[in-house]
Amino acid sequence: MKSNRDRTEIVVNRRFSIQFMTALAALLIATATFASPPAKIALKGGRIIPIVGEDIPVGTILIEHGKIKAVGKDVEIPYDAMVVDVTGKVVMPGMIDAHSARGLDIRNENLDVTPFLDVYDAIDPSKLYFEDALRDGITTIHAIVGHNCVIGGLSRAIHPIGITPDEMTQQPSVSLKLSVAPQNRSDRMAQLATFRETFRELAEYLDDLAETKYEESLEKKDEKIKVGPDEAKKLGKDLIKPEDYDDKHRNLVKLTGGQLGAFVYAGRAADIAAAESLAKQHGFFDQTTLVLGPRCYKAIEEIKATGRPVVLDSQLLYREENPITGKITETFIPKVYADAGVAFSLLPSGDTSLAERYLNYQAARCVRNGIARKTALEAITINPARAIGIGDRFGSIEVGKTANVVVMSGDPLDFSSWVDLVYINGIRAYERESDVRLKQLLGEEKPEIPEQVKGEKNEGAPVDPKAGHSKGDADKLEAPAPNEMTKDAEKKKE
């Protein structure tokens, strides 16, 4: 007989395993859904906002094997393409979140200097955030650690579908995160001293490694060292192979060698100079993207002079109260950057707001405050793609680019527009019709559990919506959302 205590544990375990299996089932279904997209898809009749190039009032996008094959007013649709009628809707490239730690289990390590970490290990594909990202039309997320570090880990560009970080990855090893702004741990002096210490230690390590390498090479030839240590360090430098670096230093070597991007966070205007000199001194200035806190706009001249791409904090309005008169002055931050001609990327807010969580709303705010529409739309698509270094594959609707496309019910800057469809790599990753969670919030869910349960016996296995992709109207497809399927799976278990 097992003790009560053991029993409880078993029960707990069983409950856990049921949950786990349910989650797994849902994920498997999700992958099944994404497994084999139709080879050719034509999105026909929508207004196309390609971002790069002029808008097309009524046009067609032809997607072939996950890439954009043709865009234009009169695109010949191949006989075997699946035609999706998007008449009256607006088609734009998938939006890009240039800096997000929300898909990670924890934003930052406790350690200050962690160049050996990779967000790969922290990405949690089951996070609701990814579901929300799809719902909000975000197709690329630059998964990167938070600002609370000195040197954080490696980041990567991912899309919000897939059940493993590997499947989600669009681009591994995008950049290393550095933060010149002290968070709630230390002051600026300590922050910058840590940088100096880290790079000094790197230099020492490289010297030692070179010396060791030189010694090893002599040992192989059974020779004895005839030169002093300084000379040995010089001679050994060329003997170092990439695999010789240890984990702790490998990424730093890549960074200083210009093979790795750098996302440098500056919290206040005073941090800009520090960020710039740090990047220049250690040879990664040309790969640097500045991630700027709200108050950095005061150093707009310096920022402009660096010529580096800029990612702005989600707080776009800065309020300052005159301590004497109590008068509040408002500054709309992106306007300052737009006026200075600095290319910037916008971020969605990480909090629970119903508005700023949408990148297209952030862009709408820009337009409301006098920024050109084109600039605002670029700031949520092509600019972040370029900042991440994937601008050649993502961020606009151009021939040859990856087919990450969002179909909206109206203009993206109209707050009443909804994301209707999302395609990632040519795969239909989201459709509003099947978004059960959204329907619940909007009171649109059907009272009884519909067809899915009834239809269960026909399929046995869950319905693959894409299996029905002959040439029919996409709107007729009964695509079960992951949530509904989860419910079904739960039912089965019970």
Partner 1 sequence: MKISANHQKPLCLKGLHIVQLGIAAVIAGMLTIPPVRAADNAIVLKGATVHIGNGEIIDHGVVVIRNGRITQVGANLTIPADAKVIELAGGSITPGLIDANAALEPTDVMMVDRRNARQVAADLFHGDHKGHENESVGCCGSSCPRQLQHASGAKCKQCGFPDTSPAMAVGVRRSAMSVEHSSEVIPHTRVIDSVNLRSPDFDRLAGGGVTTVFAAPDSAAVISSQGAILRTAGSLHDRVVRESGAVMASMGSDPARRGFSNNLPFREFVNFYNRRPTTRMGVAWVFRKAMYDTDRFDKGEIVYGADAPTEPAMKELRHVLAGKIPLRIQARMQHDILAALRLADEFGLEFTLIEATEAHRCLDELRDSKSPVVYGPVYVDAPGARAFSSEVDNARLHTLKELLRAGIPTALTAHELRDEDGLARQAMYARRFGVSLEDVTRCVTETPAKLLGIDDEVGTVASGKRADLILWNGEPFDGASKPVVVISGGKIVVDRRKG
Q: List residues binding partner 1 (CB under 8 A).
A: 101-102, 104-108, 146-148, 183-184, 265, 267, 293-294, 313-315, 317, 319, 321, 323, 326, 328, 335, 349-355, 360-361, 364-365, 367-370, 413-416, 440-444
Instruction: Identify which of residues 11 and 355 has a Cβ nearer to partner 1 in the complex.
Output: 355
- In angstroms, the CA 390 to CA 383 distance is 10
The residues, any chain, with a CB within 8 Å of residue 217's CB and separated by 6 or more, are 236, 239
Minimum separation from the CB atom of position 355 to partner 1 (A)? 6
- In angstroms, the CA 51 to CA 69 distance is 17
Distances (CA, A) of 488 to 26, 130, 215, 423, 432: 10, 21, 66, 25, 20
Instruction: Identify which of residues 283 and 370 has a Cβ nearer to partner 1 in the complex.
Output: 370
C-alpha of 481 from chain center: 23
Instruction: Identify which of residues 60 and 289 has a Cβ nearer to partner 1 in the complex.
Output: 289
Distances (CA, A) of 428 to 135, 405, 425: 12, 9, 8
Structure tokens at 457: 């016996």
DSSP 8-state class, residue 125: T
Rg (C-alpha) for the chain, rounded Å, is 26
Report which residue type is found at 459. E
Minimum separation from the CB atom of position 409 to partner 1 (A)? 11
Instruction: Identify which of residues 268 and 469 has a Cβ nearer to partner 1 in the complex.
Output: 268
Minimum separation from the CB atom of position 59 to partner 1 (A)? 23
Instruction: Identify which of residues 354 and 461 has a Cβ nearer to partner 1 in the complex.
Output: 354
First to last CA, the chain: 26
- In angstroms, the CA 297 to CA 330 distance is 13
Alpha helices in 169-258 (DSSP H): 188-220, 229-236, 247-256
Structure tokens at 31: 């992958």
Instruction: Identify which of residues 102 and 466 has a Cβ nearer to partner 1 in the complex.
Output: 102
Instruction: Identify which of residues 323 and 400 has a Cβ nearer to partner 1 in the complex.
Output: 323
Minimum separation from the CB atom of position 108 to partner 1 (A)? 7
Instruction: Identify which of residues 85 and 445 has a Cβ nearer to partner 1 in the complex.
Output: 445
- In angstroms, the CA 442 to CA 486 distance is 20
Minimum separation from the CB atom of position 318 to partner 1 (A)? 9
Q: Contact at 8 Å (CB) between 179 and 194?
A: no
Minimum separation from the CB atom of position 157 to partner 1 (A)? 19
Minimum separation from the CB atom of position 419 to partner 1 (A)? 12
Minimum separation from the CB atom of position 174 to partner 1 (A)? 20
Question: Tokens 């600095």 label which residue?
Answer: 342
